Structure 1
Amino acid sequence: HVGSLAPGRRADLVLVDLSGPHTQPVHDLAATLVHSARSGDVRTTVVDGRVLMRDGRLTTVDVPDVAGELAELLPALVARGHGRRIQEYDT
C-alpha cells in the first residue's frame, strides 16, 4: 500500500529542519525543500522502515571506525597512483 502510514507498514521518510534563516519564510514547502534546504538540514532518515539517521547522526555506520579503516587503506591507494599527483583538499 503505497502512500499510507500505519503501524506495521514500511515507510521511507526524511525529516528536514526548516527553522534556519536560509529556509525562511516558508511560503511554498516543496520550493523551500528543493531550493533552500541543505543536506545539513536533514535530521532523520527512515528507509523501508529502518532508521538510518536520527538527530543528524548515522545509526548504521560507525563513522570513526570507517575513518580509521580509510586511514589504514589510504597508503596502498596512494601507492597505486604510481607517483601521479593526487588532488589535496583542505579539511
Structure 2
Amino acid sequence: MANTPQSKKRARQSETRLTVNKARRSRIRTFLRKVEEAIASGDKEAAQAALRAAQPELMRGVTKGVFHKNTASRKMSRLSARVKSLG
C-alpha cells in the first residue's frame, strides 16, 4: 500500500488513467467489431464506411498511448486487405 503522499497521488492517478484507457480501448474495439461484422455480412460499402470510421479512432488510441503504433498499423493493414478482397 502507498505510504508517502507522492505514492498515494501516483496510485490515484494510475487508477484514473486505468479507467480512461479502458474506456478508450473498449471504444476502439467496438469500431473494429463493426468492421468485422460488415466484412462477415459481405457488404463491401458498409465495410468501407466502418473502416473509414475506425481508422481515426485507432490512430487516436496510438496518440493517447493505448496502442503501440505498429499494432494499430498492423490492424489497419489487415482490415483494409480484407475489405478490399470483398466481392
Q: TM-score, normalised by structure 1?
A: 0.26
Of the two structures, which has the highest relative contact order with CA contacts closer than 8 Å and spacing of 6 or more? Answer: 2
Q: Counting strand residues as a fraction of each chain, which structure ranks higher?
A: 1
Q: Give the structure with the higher percent helix.
A: 2
